[in-house]
């Protein structure tokens, strides 16, 4: 990739989108849920970056008419994942712990949760069969990143002898990017977004994680990726996520 375009200011959400795109390098088929505008933008950006030199990357966004090859929603998504034909999928969670477990059910002792979330749906199944599960939460706080989740919707790792082809690959938040070591069952801090420090990340995270003595800074978008994001990708994104696309355009305009 070309050198970063340091003279141009970028929004925090643009940096997150480009960070997500980099994690999709080499993917052939990326699936995105119906409420995941930034992961969808990252997938669209990687697809645009690979054209026309490489084989086009397929993107399936549930709920989209223009960016969805499925006609029967989750059923076809699950079948495709079981056949090994989806390389990456995105999962979030009301809670995520240091072992890579996610909670989409609710906070507090189950079944008497004091706060209820949408539910696990297919998260456990997809986390077992999709090779590159990317966890994403823009909010980075001890409310989200806890020592131990109150309910496991999808486990980060499995005991020896359990057949599993998928699992957490990385975690992207509004403050940093982590990788996940499935064998050790732990996160490793890879980069810290500009303006943050290691102390900030520790203070906002309820679990321990590995890291280099001086973690790297998340790189800014390069000139080509930023141009594609603000042009083609925003136009494509408007079909599936019109409100998010408008909001991002507003943020970009405010930088001028």
Q: Quick one: three-class SS letters along 135-184?
A: EEECCCCCCCEECCCCCCCECCCCCCCCCCCCCEEEEEECCEEEEEECCC
- The CA distance from 179 to 172, in Å, is 9
Residue 186 pairs in a beta bridge with: 181
Give me the chain's average pLDDT, please. 93
Locate 139 and state its tokens.
């909010």
pLDDT of 17 reads 98
- Closest of 157, 191, 144, 214 to residue 20, by C-alpha: 191
pLDDT of 150 reads 97
**Minimum mean pLDDT among 66-75, 145-154, 220-229, 235-244: which range?**
66-75
Angle value at C-alpha 61, between 84 and 189, nearest 5 degrees: 70
| Average pLDDT of the segment spanning 99-127 | 94
Residue 3 in any domain: the answer is no
Containing domain of residue 89, as a range?
Answer: 12-246
CATH of the domain at 151: 3.40.1080.10
Asked whether the predicted pLDDT for residue 14 surpasses 60, the reply is: yes
Residue 199 in any domain: the answer is yes
- The CA distance from 226 to 230, in Å, is 6
Q: Residues 181-239: pLDDT tens digits?
A: 999 999 999 999 999 999 999 999 999 999 999 999 999 999 999 999 999 999 999 98
Phi, psi of 173 (to 5 degrees): -130, 180
Residue 6 in any domain: the answer is no
**Minimum mean pLDDT among 100-104, 156-160, 187-191: which range?**
156-160
Residue 57 in any domain: the answer is yes
Number of domains in the chain: 1
pLDDT of 7 reads 57
Residue 159 in any domain: the answer is yes
- Closest of 110, 173, 237 to residue 247, by C-alpha: 237
| Beta-carbon contacts of residue 207 (< 8 Å; ≥ 6 apart) | 97, 98, 145, 146, 147, 187
pLDDT interval class at 1 (50, 70, 90)? very low
Q: Residues 122-137: pLDDT tens digits?
A: 999 999 999 999 999 9
pLDDT interval class at 256 (50, 70, 90)? confident
Asked whether the predicted pLDDT for residue 141 surpasses 90, the reply is: yes
- The CA distance from 50 to 78, in Å, is 26
Residue 224 in any domain: the answer is yes
pLDDT of 215 reads 97
pLDDT of 73 reads 66
pLDDT interval class at 2 (50, 70, 90)? very low
Residue 252 in any domain: the answer is no
Report the share of the chain in percent with pLDDT over 70.
97
- The CA distance from 100 to 149, in Å, is 10
| Average pLDDT of the segment spanning 90-94 | 96
- The CA distance from 180 to 191, in Å, is 13
Residue 7 in any domain: the answer is no
């Amino acid at each position: 990739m070309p050198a970063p375009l340091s003279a141009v200011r970028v929004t925090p959400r643009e940096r997150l989108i480009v960070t997500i795109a980099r994690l999709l390098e080499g993917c052939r088929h990326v699936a995105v849920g119906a409420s995941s505008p930034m992961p969808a933008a990252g997938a669209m950006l990687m697809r645009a970056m690979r054209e026309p030199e490489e084989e086009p990357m397929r993107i399936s966004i549930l709920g989209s008419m223009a960016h969805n090859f499925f006609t029967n929603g989750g059923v076809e998504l699950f079948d495709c994942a079981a056949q090994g034909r989806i390389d990456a999928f995105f999962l979030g969670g009301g809670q995520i712990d240091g072992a890579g477990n996610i909670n989409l059910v609710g906070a507090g002792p189950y079944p008497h949760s004091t706060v209820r979330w949408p539910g696990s749906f297919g998260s456990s199944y997809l986390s077992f069969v999709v090779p590159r599960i990317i966890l994403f939460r823009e909010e980075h706080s001890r409310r989200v990143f806890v020592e131990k989740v109150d309910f496991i919707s999808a486990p980060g790792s499995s005991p020896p002898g359990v057949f599993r082809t998928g699992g957490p690959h990385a975690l992207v938040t509004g403050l940093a990017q982590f990788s996940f070591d499935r064998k050790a069952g732990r996160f490793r801090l890879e980069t810290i977004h500009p303006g943050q420090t290691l102390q900030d990340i520790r203070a906002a995270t309820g679990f321990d994680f590995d890291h280099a003595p001086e973690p790297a800074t998340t790189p800014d978008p390069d000139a080509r990726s930023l141009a594609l994001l603000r042009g083609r990708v925003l136009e494509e994104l408007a079909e599936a996520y019109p409100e998010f696309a408008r909001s991002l355009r507003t943020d970009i305009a405010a930088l001028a």
